[in-house]
Amino acid sequence: MMLQKTLRNLTIFAIAAYAIAADAQTYRLPNAHKAEHNDLIARQENIGNQISVKDTQDFLDNLFKDEEEPELDIYTEGWNSRSVNAYAGMEVPDTKSIDVSKFAMPCPGYVTSPYGYRPRFRREHKGIDLKLQTGDTVYAAFDGRVRLTNFERRGYGNYVILRHTNGLETVYGHLSKFLVKEDQDVKAGEPIALGGNTGRSFGAHLHFETRFMGMPINPAAIFDFANQTVHTDTYTFDKQTYKKARNYDPAANTEYAKQYRATHPARVTASTSGTSSKKASTYTVRKGDTLSRIASRNGVTVRQLCKLNGLTTKSKINPGKKLRLR
């Protein structure tokens, strides 16, 4: 009886063992899967060796590098040119919006000669002439940098060209003295020169130009000289209209001229010989004198000098000759 019970238990154990073995065979991974699994485990690396903050940042920087808008360097194009127009041959956009809100008047003078064609000289006057006395201060119209200080005997005389952060260039001609140097940064309203009568000039004044990519804009399209301000905070350059003035009123300029003369009396500079003054009736010609220089010094016109003395604009005047002024 005891033996039968033992055999029965052994039989049950054997059957169970066989079932477990059979079940293990049923869920065993195929050899191919086992090999792939082992290969993946063998190639596993520490994730710390694959990812770092620096590498991630470098990746992002490179990803967006080409999409960033590069900062425009306005002091490159034609910067080393010795010409007034440093943009010759370059393509100029049809329109361009220019911020002129941060401005200063180049000088407080009124307009003595407007922009445009001059029949007398058969050429374009590419700027505006503003009244001043020799030695009066000339100011930077906008923030920027000095591109050129130069002298041109038959034209601008002593002149300064500034390139501005708003994309414009301004030209200041017939100066008596420079107060700035090339490559010097300036602010709007900062003194840059003293006014004068150098170059091709018939009396002390400031020749003032405003240019966009070398194209001479009518300064009266930007500035309201009679009211000593700008027309609007933004000027829109247009190839079709840049030569036209905005709200230019000769009557307003005439009225402003009266006010200016009342508050800016002309200085009288006596000559060493005592013959040249504002009220003198005659003048003794000195070496190097020209009709235009004599006229500007004595508050008369070349035409008046010629008429009073029986001369023409081409007449030769010798040192020692006395000329009537009144």
pLDDT per residue as tens digits for the range 210-263: 999 999 999 999 999 999 999 999 999 999 999 999 988 889 999 999 999 888
pLDDT of residue 49: 56
Give the closest residue to 264 by CA, choosing from 200, 204, 199, 176. Answer: 204
Residue 81 CA to residue 163 CA, distance in Å, equals: 12
Q: 221 φ, ψ to 5°?
A: -80, -20
What residues are paired with 230 via a beta bridge?
223
**79-83, long-range: CB within 8 Å, 24+ apart, which pairs?**
79/147, 79/163, 81/148, 82/148, 82/150
pLDDT of residue 75: 83
pLDDT of residue 13: 59
Element (H, E) at 22: helix 2-26
pLDDT tens for 105-119 read 999 999 999 998 877
pLDDT band at 277 (very low <50, low <70, confident <90, very high): very low
Report which of residues 150 and 13 the model is more confident about.
150
The answer to whether the CB of 296 falls within 8 A of the CB of 325 is no
DSSP state of 196: B
The answer to whether the CB of 107 falls within 8 A of the CB of 160 is no
pLDDT tens for 1-18 read 555 555 566 556 555 555
Grouping H, G, I as helix, E, B as strand and the rest as coil, residue 4 is helix
Residue 184 CA to residue 292 CA, distance in Å, equals: 33
Residue 83 CA to residue 221 CA, distance in Å, equals: 24
Report which of residues 70 and 248 the model is more confident about.
248
Q: Is the pLDDT of residue 66 over 90?
A: no
- pTM of the full structure: 0.62
CA distances from 250 to 6, 114, 132, 235 (A): 134, 10, 18, 21
The answer to whether the CB of 98 falls within 8 A of the CB of 237 is yes
pLDDT band at 322 (very low <50, low <70, confident <90, very high): confident
